[in-house]
Amino acid sequence: MQINSQTKIADLIKFHKDALEAIITLSPDFKKLRNPILRKLMAGRTSISMASKIGGCKPEDFFEILKPLGFVSDNSVQQEEVVLRKSLKDFVRDIESAHIITLDVREMLAEGNDPLKLIQKHIKELEEGQILKIVNTFEPTPLIRLLEKQGFESYVDLVEKNLIETYLYKNKPAESLQQDTPAGVNNDWNLLLKQFENRLIEIDVRHLEMPGPMMTILDELEKLDPDKALYVHHKRIPVFLLSELKDRNFEYRINEISESEVFLLIFKK
């Protein structure tokens, strides 16, 4: 298989069964790809170029480690990086009088606050022809997936390991961000707790910085026995996680104690 810096990680793994473990040897940051749920969420969107920045290595390192598995590099890394940068210009080029609205959420995340409501506000206020640029420390994949379902186009620019710029555009005025945000206690909460008595796997993700809580929960769900449930202590309703749970045939119940204390019960359908 011929590869270059824009080849997606998912394509590498699909081509050769040993590609995953070879990639993991390049950086501990890639170990999360062993989780099938996280792999499906991330690998299809991540190129060798992006992964190199995340893992603190170079595309050439990928080419070298994958060579014994039958991968052939086209040796045009620099040219591809130029094309990648140009594609961002192409993203805004045809938008007449394009105006980019920049939203930097890094400080909010560092303070342990969820920027979702602020992002919702900016999405709702986008005018026709405007682009929202979200500056973050990680790629907001669940947000992108949700917005793409609503007709948004996206472009992710991994400037460096902890600096990611996500551009979002819709060619008509944006509507409010649609999602399920249940509050309070589900009617069958106590009944299900009784049903899964002595079969609960408990985790506390309140101390983790984003996207740590979601990644931890998805990792635990991958190991969850069909007859058990995951009992999560969270500090907020994880909106984007709920969307992923539906896509992966998990059911959930929510017990919202307060704005800063939430319990979730997650189990297989």
**Could you give the percent of the chain with pLDDT greater than 70?**
85
Q: Where is average pLDDT lowest: 37-51, 140-154, 163-177?
A: 163-177
CATH code of 107's domain: 3.40.50.150
Residues 6+ apart with CB under 8 A from 127: 99, 173
Q: At which of 77, 103, 123 does a domain end?
A: 77
Q: What is the CATH number of the domain that holds 198?
A: 3.30.110.40
Tell me: pLDDT of 96 over 80: no
Residue 85 belongs to a domain: no
Q: Which of 170, 182, 177 is nearest to 120 (CA)?
A: 177
- Indicate the residue among 169, 197, 229 that finishes a domain: 169
Does residue 162 share a domain with residue 98?
yes
pLDDT digits (tens, 9 = 90+) for 142-159: 788 888 878 888 888 888
* CA 205 to chain CA mean position, Å: 17
Please indicate, yes or no, whether residues 8 and 71 belong to a single structural domain of this protein. Answer: yes
Tell me the mean pLDDT in the region 248-252: 90
- Quick one: pLDDT band at residue 259, thresholds 50, 70, 90? confident
Amino acid at 2: Q
| Any domain includes 63 | yes
Judge if 103 and 68 occupy the same domain: no
On the question of pLDDT at 82 being above 80, the answer is: no
Residue 174 — very low, low, confident or very high, per pLDDT cuts 50/70/90?
A: low
Region 162-191 average pLDDT: 70
Indicate whether 151 and 198 sit together in one domain: no
pLDDT of 142: 79
204 and 231, same domain (yes or no): yes
Residue 184 lies in a domain: no
In the chain, what percentage of residues exceed pLDDT 90? 38
Q: Which of 112, 136, 169 is the last residue of a domain?
A: 169
Asked if residue 32 belongs to a domain, the reply is: yes
Quick one: average pLDDT of 15-23? 95
In terms of residue numbers, what domain contains 35? Answer: 2-77
Instruction: Estimate to the nearest angstrom the gap between the alpha carbon of 152 and the chain centroid.
Output: 16
- pLDDT value of position 149: 79
Q: Is residue 183 part of a domain?
A: no
Give the position of tokens 């938008």: 95
Q: Is 73 within the bounds of a domain?
A: yes
pLDDT digits (tens, 9 = 90+) for 99-129: 888 999 999 887 877 788 898 889 888 887 7
Same domain, 257 and 205: yes
Q: Is residue 148 part of a domain?
A: yes
> Domain for residue 176, yes or no?
no
What gap in Å lies between CA 266 and CA 225, rounded to an integer?
12
**Does residue 81 surpass a pLDDT of 60?**
no
Assign residue 28 the CATH number of its domain: 1.10.3910.10
Mean pLDDT of 162-170: 86
More confident call, 256 vs 159: 256
What is the rounded average pLDDT of the residues 193-205?
Answer: 95
Distance CA 134, CA 62 (A): 29
DSSP string of 13-69? HHH-TTHHHHHHTT-GGGGGGGSHHHHHHHTTT-BHHHHHHHHT--HHHHHHHHGGG
Residue (of 266, 201, 251, 212) closest to 235 by Cα position: 212
Compute the distance between CA of residue 91 and CA of residue 168 in angstroms, rounded to an integer: 10
92 pLDDT tier (thresholds 50, 70, 90)? low
CB count within 10 Å of CB 12 equals 22
Distances (CA, A) of 179 to 51, 127, 152, 186, 247: 29, 21, 15, 17, 13
Q: Are residues 158 and 195 in the same domain?
A: no
What confidence tier does 266 reach under pLDDT thresholds 50, 70, 90?
very high
| Domains: count for the chain | 3
Q: Which long-range contacts (CB under 8 A, 24 or more apart) does 86-95 make?
A: 87/155, 88/155, 88/157, 88/167, 91/131, 91/153, 91/155, 91/167, 91/169, 92/131, 92/167, 92/169, 95/129, 95/131, 95/169, 95/171
pLDDT for position 93: 59
